[in-house]
Amino acid sequence: MNARGPARCVVVGAGPGGVLLTYLLGRAGIEVTLLEARADFERDFRGDSLHPYTLELLATLGLAEDLLRLPHHRARHFRFHTRAGTVVTADYGRIASRYNYVALMPQSRFLEFMAGRIAELDHARVLTRSKATGLLTGPAERVSGVRCGESELPADLVVATDGRHSRMRRLAGLPTESLGATGDLLWFRLPRRPGDPPEADVDLYFGRDHYVALLGGVDDWQVGFTLPKGGYAAARDAGVTPIRNFVAEHVTWLADRVDLLTGFAQTTLLSVEISRVARWWRPGLLLLGDAAHVISPVGGNGILMAVQDAVAAANRLIPPLRAGAVGDEVLAAVQSDREPAIRRVQAQQVRTERRTARARDTGRPLLPPTPLLKALTALPGMRARAARRNAYGPHPPRLDLALLGT
């Protein structure tokens, strides 16, 4: 350790990656401050999926049991529904894990839980209503902290986890490259009722020009209706009747409550984006999660990628932060550790987007259930393999627990 002691870290943005990294650094004895611009952690219609990897990680930290006492829905299947039948593509129940399901929990509950655990640490703090508005720079333009309103918060390292519209990324002059999303999602909620199908978890219902994504919850269903990219204005002008009709036709057991959707004020537009920056860092600053790479909602693994970014970053950052300085080579190593997985996930999502766009443009069904697809997905081994791939992602990092003194 140098004469002035361990380095100070500021994390900007209390999303899943930000809260987890703050917790890991604080538990390792690093002085870390998490800044959140909002007064609370509400994240409606963002990612609500906690994958087996995330639950196993939290279990190793002694957090999973308490977290799972909060209301959540345990999704065990991922299914496609078409006029020609239903295809079960993933069966999480076949994963060799205590957490052989995806926990669907409002993101706000997860963030509040983690913020509470951060508050218990001696070296970490969360500041809400604290919007980072600028970057401080020192010699050679190295980032040396953030400006927060009228105050300055010096830091030896700033980590930006402030989402797809990252202010820190923009101020740092790190441009994004769009990889070509072709659609958007219009989300709304409908109530869960006792007679609803008990096996409904994470389901896609395909029509000719649209599909509906359905996520199960404890008290309601999240319903996502697909729109062509930039199609929100036309959909709003047409009103909610076409959306209600589509849902009633393709998700027939929701037909008795679609009239509860009465206007666009009940909906939230999620602009689908797939993009990334070429370099995730500049001296003194590291981008993680959506600030570095935006993941499409397809597969529901945006939180998983952010969590894994945080794990990989903690493994690399804790030793040099303890020593008092984080060199550029460390920041580059974090990107090198995570970029292959991100590229694989995004490449698959781009292929899905292009396939969907071609089907929509030619008037073909978005997902024709071919005999080969039906035969392959009928095999338990294929369902288990697909579930493992989604549950853990490519190249999942393992947390070095020795760094935490655990």
Instruction: Confirm if 72 and 103 have CB atoms less than 8 A apart.
Output: yes
220-233: pLDDT as tens digits: 999 999 898 889 99
Q: Which amino acid is at 19?
A: V
The pLDDT of residue 234 is 95
The pLDDT of residue 363 is 56
Higher pLDDT, 275 or 355: 275
Asked if residue 244 has pLDDT above 90, the reply is yes
Burial, 2: exposed, middle or buried (Cβ in 10 Å; 0-12, 13-18, 19+)? Answer: exposed
What is the spatial distance between Cα 304 and Cα 154, in angstroms, rounded to a whole number?
Answer: 30
| H-state helical runs in 209-327 | 232-238, 241-250, 302-323
**In the predicted model, what is the mean pLDDT of residues 106-133?**
96
Burial, 210: exposed, middle or buried (Cβ in 10 Å; 0-12, 13-18, 19+)? Answer: buried
Q: Strand pairing partners for 224?
A: 187, 213
Higher pLDDT, 299 or 247: 247
DSSP state of 138: -
The pLDDT of residue 208 is 76
What is the spatial distance between Cα 156 and Cα 150, in angstroms, rounded to a whole number?
Answer: 20
The pLDDT of residue 149 is 86
Instruction: Confirm if 162 and 291 have CB atoms less than 8 A apart.
Output: yes
DSSP 298-345: GGG-HHHHHHHHHHHHHHHHHHHHHHT---HHHHHHHHHHHHHHHHHH
Asked if residue 154 has pLDDT above 50, the reply is yes
What is the spatial distance between Cα 152 and Cα 375, in angstroms, rounded to a whole number?
Answer: 61
Instruction: Confirm if 259 and 244 have CB atoms less than 8 A apart.
Output: yes
DSSP state of 292: T
**In the predicted model, what is the mean pLDDT of residues 327-335?**
98
User: CA-based Rg of the chain, rounded to a whole angstrom?
Assistant: 22
What is the spatial distance between Cα 68 and Cα 46, in angstroms, rounded to a whole number?
Answer: 19
Asked if residue 4 has pLDDT above 50, the reply is no
To which H or E segment does residue 179 belong?
none
**In the predicted model, what is the mean pLDDT of residues 301-316?**
96
Residue 146: pLDDT band with limits 50, 70, 90: very high
Q: Strand pairing partners for 134?
A: 147
Asked if residue 289 has pLDDT above 80, the reply is yes
pTM for this prediction: 0.93
193-215: pLDDT as tens digits: 999 998 888 888 888 778 899 99
The pLDDT of residue 82 is 79
Domains of the chain, by residue range, sit at: 8-73+102-178+273-361, 183-271
The pLDDT of residue 228 is 86
Give the CATH fold of the 8-73+102-178+273-361 domain: FAD/NAD(P)-binding domain (3.50.50)
What is the spatial distance between Cα 135 and Cα 159, in angstroms, rounded to a whole number?
Answer: 11
Asked if residue 361 has pLDDT above 70, the reply is no
Burial, 379: exposed, middle or buried (Cβ in 10 Å; 0-12, 13-18, 19+)? Answer: exposed
Instruction: Confirm if 212 and 225 have CB atoms less than 8 A apart.
Output: yes
Edge-to-edge strand ranges of the sheet holding 151-154: 132-137, 143-148, 151-154
What is the spatial distance between Cα 117 and Cα 374, in angstroms, rounded to a whole number?
Answer: 45
The pLDDT of residue 375 is 66
Distances (CA, A) of 359 to 206, 208, 356: 11, 8, 5
What is the spatial distance between Cα 23 and Cα 310, in angstroms, rounded to a whole number?
Answer: 10
22-68: pLDDT as tens digits: 999 999 999 999 999 998 887 665 668 999 999 999 999 999 999 99
Higher pLDDT, 180 or 12: 12
The pLDDT of residue 200 is 83
Residue 285: pLDDT band with limits 50, 70, 90: very high
What is the spatial distance between Cα 377 and Cα 375, in angstroms, rounded to a whole number?
Answer: 6
* Strongest mean pLDDT among 270-274, 309-313, 354-358, 381-385: 309-313
What is the spatial distance between Cα 58 and Cα 343, in angstroms, rounded to a whole number?
Answer: 25
**In the predicted model, what is the mean pLDDT of residues 319-343?**
96
Asked if residue 355 has pLDDT above 90, the reply is no
CATH code assigned to 183-271: 3.30.9.10
What is the spatial distance between Cα 344 and Cα 335, in angstroms, rounded to a whole number?
Answer: 14
